[in-house]
Amino acid sequence: MDPTTAIARFDRVRADTELLAAPLSPEDQTVQSMADVSPTKWHRAHVTWFFETFVLAENEAGFAPFQDQYWFLFNSYYEQVGPRYARPMRGVISRPGAHEVGDYRRNVDNRVRDLLDRVDEGTFAKLAPTIELGFHHEQQHQELLLMDIKHVLSLNPLQPAYAGRPAEGDGSDRLGWVDIDGGLVEIGSDGGGFCFDNELPRHQQWLEPYRLADRLITNGEWLEFIADGGYLRPELWLSDGWARVNAEAWKAPFYWREADGVWFEHTLHGTTPLDLSLPVCHLSHYEADAYATWAGKRLPTEAEWEHAARSYEVSGNLADRDSFHPRAAGPATGGLRQLFGDCWEWTSSAYLPYPGFHPAAGAIGEYNGKFMSNQMVLRGGCALTPPGHTRASYRNFFPPGARWPVTGLRLADDGGGA
């Protein structure tokens, strides 16, 4: 990457965020519907703060922040940068408003462009990895912006739509299986492009032969789980999961609602009758695991998933489609379908450092490493993931009880059998 390319990529990623926010009014952009959700305008400001803090502050001549208090308001979790406003209270911040956040964005955009225009070669070489991280960070927040506004709109009895339209279902065929040889395999980024620090170091792992389902589990298949008492049978559940089922009265995936015997699903394009051929989504890890137990199967490990996915092209139903929702798998291919896009796939792997992992020094080292506790790994990407943002080695992670992200389920099984 040279400075000219950096400016072009910067402009693109910054414009993409604004395009995603465009259908949302200032009022839409202010609401925080639960602690895990951030207001749209906060996402727009926080990704701006990231460039201001990690790119401009140390490299812009005569640097001064756009607004002193924004450093406090829009720092997410970087202890080494300074104190932060409490996350669960982001929704009570009426000022700056959505338009003022736009002013902040334009100011930082211009200053980053100026910096990249004038930067000398040595400084750019030092700065390039942080700029690149800023692009991928902003894309992560583009996905979160959509997941978060989906929750905000779900609480409105007017059932407003964000954008898009339903994808046409195409039926769902029988679940097929793909056998995969085990052996000594390489896991982690191969250095062929950008990766986050948590995808390194590349290392060897031993895999026994295994099988993966050739597509995601569908809404129709999930209904069979419900009909068979899936949410009522403790023997299917991990202990922590069973506690959540009871404490929170789980009876179906997060955005399903039943009315007069008909199931409906809240989506970004509105509330629609449940399409049985679409992948089931908005599951916790506990639900995915319980289903796998019920089906007599298991979840894949993250290494199994990555090893299998490495031989497939990274394409699928990502956020460049117009439904903003998972789509049906389409006809069987003999290989794995829906690997990239549609739903983030829960694995049975705890989110842990790879052997030899060391976070970077300084505040930027807080990006991933400090979250390696009490979270499970998900793979693949979803229908809200920006195109170009995911890859076979990408490690997403959420707490096992999380249901608001676009999460689904692919079954795995031990190989070498019938």
Give the binding site for Fe ion (CB under 5 A). Answer: 76
Q: Supply the minimum distance, in Å, between the C-beta of residue 33 and Fe ion.
A: 19
Choice between 76 and 301, CB closer to Fe ion: 76
Q: Supply the minimum distance, in Å, between the C-beta of residue 216 and Fe ion.
A: 28
Instruction: Report the chain's C-alpha Rg in angstroms.
Output: 22
**Backbone angles phi and psi of 295, in degrees to 5:** -80, 0
Q: Supply the minimum distance, in Å, between the C-beta of residue 78 and Fe ion.
A: 9
Q: Supply the minimum distance, in Å, between the C-beta of residue 65 and Fe ion.
A: 18
Find, among 308, 216, 223, the residue nearest to 258 by Cα.
Answer: 223
Tokens of 127: 């700065």
Choice between 76 and 277, CB closer to Fe ion: 76
Choice between 196 and 264, CB closer to Fe ion: 196
Q: Which residue has the tokens 């394009």?
A: 269
CB closest to Fe ion, residue no: 76
Choice between 47 and 328, CB closer to Fe ion: 47
Distance of alpha carbon 21 from alpha carbon 162, whole angstroms:
10
Q: Supply the minimum distance, in Å, between the C-beta of residue 366 and Fe ion.
A: 10
Q: Supply the minimum distance, in Å, between the C-beta of residue 138 and Fe ion.
A: 9
Choice between 134 and 326, CB closer to Fe ion: 134
- DSSP tag of 80: T
N-terminal to C-terminal alpha carbon distance within the chain: 50
Q: Supply the minimum distance, in Å, between the C-beta of residue 110 and Fe ion.
A: 22
**Backbone angles phi and psi of 259, in degrees to 5:** -135, 120
Q: Supply the minimum distance, in Å, between the C-beta of residue 141 and Fe ion.
A: 6
Choice between 170 and 366, CB closer to Fe ion: 366
**Backbone angles phi and psi of 245, in degrees to 5:** -55, -45
Q: Supply the minimum distance, in Å, between the C-beta of residue 328 and Fe ion.
A: 33
Distance of alpha carbon 22 from alpha carbon 29, whole angstroms:
10
What 151-159 contacts at long range (C-beta under 8 Å, 24+ apart), as own/partner pairs, is: 151/33, 151/34, 151/37, 151/404, 152/28, 152/31, 152/32, 152/33, 152/37, 153/28, 153/266, 153/268, 154/33, 154/255, 154/266, 155/33, 159/266, 159/270, 159/271
**What is the full DSSP assignment across 252-307?**
S-TTEEEETTEEEEEETTEEEE--TTSBP-S--HHHHHHHHHHTT-BPPPHHHHHH
Choice between 230 and 381, CB closer to Fe ion: 381
Choice between 186 and 366, CB closer to Fe ion: 366
Distance of alpha carbon 69 from alpha carbon 51, whole angstroms:
16
Choice between 30 and 38, CB closer to Fe ion: 38
